[in-house]
Amino acid sequence: MVIKYLLVIFIGLAGGLAVGAGIVAFLSVLGIIPRLTQLTKTVAYVQGYEWGIVGGAIIGGILSLRDYSFFMSSYWLIPLGAMYGIFVGMLAAALTEVLNVFPILSKRMGIYDRIIILLMAIVMGKIVGSLYHWIYFVDL
């Protein structure tokens, strides 16, 4: 029985280290945080971004290991959803900016002169998909 617990602990730590190393490599090698601060003109708050990511990872790890329930008004969904969406959107924008995804994609598709249409199609698809998911699948 003790061997099972030790094996589970070892596998959990190994998985956590692998995921943590991947996230650190993702954020540091691609330069996501510095690029995000450049785009938003908030270079003075770079330590805030870093501590926010560290704190979010720690709190997210703790919450995912426990069965917590938060009882709050459904009106909190709007600001919390907006903050989550802004964070994910900014992170995705910084990633695509660093990797130059859209210029390469538009050049290969032969629509380089219509890159704004490509961006708006992606944005509108994300908005419609998110609204469909949240309106159709959530009972308020």
Task: Match 């959107």 to its residue by tokens.
Answer: 89
Q: Cα separation of 89 and 129, whole Å?
A: 14
Amino acid at site 86:
I
Alpha-carbon torsion, ordered 80, 85, 88, 90, to 10 deg = -110
Predicted local confidence at residue 97, as pLDDT: 67
* 8-36 mean pLDDT: 77
Its pTM stands at 0.45
Identify how many contiguous H helices and E strands the chain contains and give both numbers: 6, 0
More confident call, 102 vs 34: 34
Predicted local confidence at residue 138, as pLDDT: 60
Hey, is 14 helix, strand or coil? helix
Percent of residues in the chain assigned helix, strand, coil, to nearest 5: 85, 0, 15
pLDDT confidence bin for 39, thresholds 50/70/90: confident
Q: Cα separation of 29 and 26, whole Å?
A: 6
Query: Closest Cα partner for 56 from 20, 104, 32, 99?
Result: 20
pLDDT confidence bin for 137, thresholds 50/70/90: low
Q: Cα separation of 8 and 14, whole Å?
A: 10
pLDDT in tens, 86-134: 888 877 777 666 667 777 777 887 887 887 887 788 888 888 888 887 7
Predicted local confidence at residue 13, as pLDDT: 83
pLDDT in tens, 57-93: 888 878 878 877 778 788 888 898 888 888 888 777 7
